[in-house]
Structure 1
Amino acid sequence: MATNYVLIDFENVQPANLEVLNKYPFRVLVFVGGNQTKVPFDLASAMQELGESARYIKIAGSGKNSLDFHIAYYIGELAAGEPDAYFHIISRDTGFDPLIKHLKSRKIRVQRESDLAEIPVLRMSNATCCADKIEAIVSNLAGRGQSRPRKIKTLSNTINSLFTDKLSDEQLAALVKELEQRRYIKITNDNVSYNLPHPP
């Protein structure tokens, strides 16, 4: 199973909801700026709960964008060892977006979210109604580029893997049908083609 890395730009975002990651096999790296000398107790406590899956990376120095460069370096280093890993940069800094576009062109799965709750698998787990689930599924599929499932069975398995509570065959069939009715997918002889919005 591919590792999900969460890389938090702590200079830009100070998440108050890190505990939402407890139920999932994420690896969390919190990048702390050179001038940041204090970490909130709630964050420290949540990091402690994550155990060996979480660590701080303190940036030496305080040059402009130095923290961003560190995040870029770690993504490169980790991706070299785990090419199938998925990287979530938690930051409101749109300066990451050109890097993300380039990394995606190199088949590295990376996305920027401004809040932990925007991470696709977390959005999936919080989706309750059909419309929410469809929106979350479409977002996930759009971010997969050319590695989208091409068969109905593979698509169903992919959808099922996105949710904390496994779905029944009937629920999966209903979601696939809804995707087809909304023209996000087209099914021809068990083959699936896509008409999805471009990922952000």
Structure 2
Amino acid sequence: MIPFEHIVLVDFENVPDVDFAGIEGKPVRVVLLIGTRQQRLDLALVRQIHRLNGQIELVEVGVAGRSAFDLALAYQLGLAVKEHPQAQFHIVSQAEDFEPLLRHLASRGMDVTRHVVFPSLYLPIPVRRDAPVVRLEKLIEQIRQGTVRPRKRSTLEHVIATFDGNDLTKEQVKVVLEQLIRQRVLLIDDRDKVGYP
């Protein structure tokens, strides 16, 4: 069994546009929640699910109603947290109801983010098994200690792209930058000046 580093829970009812080609062979597990309204699946999607059956789990939410899907997804998230406590968790849903839950889990040290579309989901998985968490933590540590503190956004983006031997794309740098801002490691003003709280 692959030791999963990323658990992705997809609300297929309101985010039906998914493509799992990017997870093959990576330590990623997807829980795809399907509602009562999804009577048919695209053949290409079925082929991906079949090929990646060790990484993708289909969960039928057999009830309909207000918040039924959100509650089922929250339950699946709880199961995943219990089974893989060290993983990074990603909720793919347009429902904003998850924000209080995400803040609660973050206050408990869990790494959980919400994405409104599946293609925006970037899973930083370099060659080294422990690299994703260690590198981000190492970057945050150096920023907080003052070792790395660029003043301009462009310089910061370059530092992120090349930090610890990385060669990240602009999109990957954007995702890391968003994580640093979300975790309040740094701030960027409207003139692209970087500040450190």
Judge same fold: TM > 0.5, yes or no: yes
**In structure 2, distance between residues paired with 1:80 and 1:111:** 17
Question: What's the offset of the Cα at 1:39?
Answer: 1.4
Q: 1:111 aligns with which of 96, 108, 113?
A: 113
Take 2:79 and 2:52, find their aligned partners in 1: how far apart are those partners?
22
Superposition deviation, residue 13 in structure 1: 0.4
CA distance in 2, matches of 1:80, 1:55: 16
Aligned to 2:62: 60
TM-score normalized by structure 2?
Answer: 0.62
Aligned counterparts of 1:118 and 1:96: Cα–Cα separation in 2: 18
Distance in 2 separating the partners of 1:90 and 1:168: 28
The correspondence of residues 112-191 of structure 1 with structure 2, limited to 5 A, is: 112-121=114-123, 149-151=140-142
Q: Which residue of 2 aligns with 1:29?
A: 31
Check the 8 A contact 2:7/2:80 in 1, yes or no: no
**1:195 pairs with 2:172:** no
CA shift for structure 1 position 19: 1.5
What residue identity is the alignment partner of 2:58?
Y
Alignment partners' CA distance in 2, 1:195 and 1:168: 16
Partners of 1:170 and 1:61 in 2: CA distance: 48
Contact persistence 1:15–1:43 (CA under 8 A): no
The whole-number CA distance in structure 2 between the counterparts of 1:66 and 1:169 is 44
1:23 and 1:195, CA in 2 relative to 1: closer, same or farther beyond 3 A?
A: same
Q: Look up the match of 2:8.
A: 6
- Counterpart AA for 1:53: Q
1:52 and 1:170 mapped to 2: Cα distance? Answer: 31
The ranges of structure 1 where at least 4 consecutive aligned residues each deviate by more than 4 angstroms after the TM superposition are: 167-172
**Contact 2:18–2:118 at 8 Å: present in 1 too?**
no
Q: After superposition, give the CA deviation of every residue in 1:81-125 in whole Å (9 maximum; x if it has no partner).
A: 322111111111112222111111121211111223322326x89
Correspondence 1:40-79 to 2 at 5 A: 40-79=42-81
Aligned residues: 150
Q: Distance in 2 between matches of 1:106 and 1:79?
A: 12
Q: Single out whichever of 97-106 and 4-13 deviates more from structure 2.
A: 97-106
Tell me, what secondary structure is at the counterpart of 2:21? Answer: helix
Q: In the alignment, residue 39 of structure 1 is paired with which amino acid?
A: L
Bigger fraction of residues in helix: 1
Once the 2 structures are TM-superposed, how far is the Cα of residue 34 of structure 1 from its aligned partner? 2.2
Aligned residue type for 1:51: N
Rounded Cα–Cα distance in structure 1 between residues aligned with 2:104 and 2:139: 19
Q: Deviations over 1:5-41 (max 9, x none)?
A: 1111011001242222225221011100123211111
Cα distance in structure 1, aligned partners of 2:47 and 2:63: 26
Partner of 1:19: 21
Unaligned runs of 5+ in 1: 126-136, 157-161, 173-184, 186-193
Q: CA deviation at 1:196?
A: 4.4
Alignment match, 1:131: none
Could you tell me which runs of 5 or more consecutive residues in structure 2 were left unpaired when the two chains were aligned: 127-131, 149-159, 168-179, 189-197
Letter in 2 for 1:62: A
* Residue number among 89, 93, 96 corresponding to 1:94 in the alignment: 96
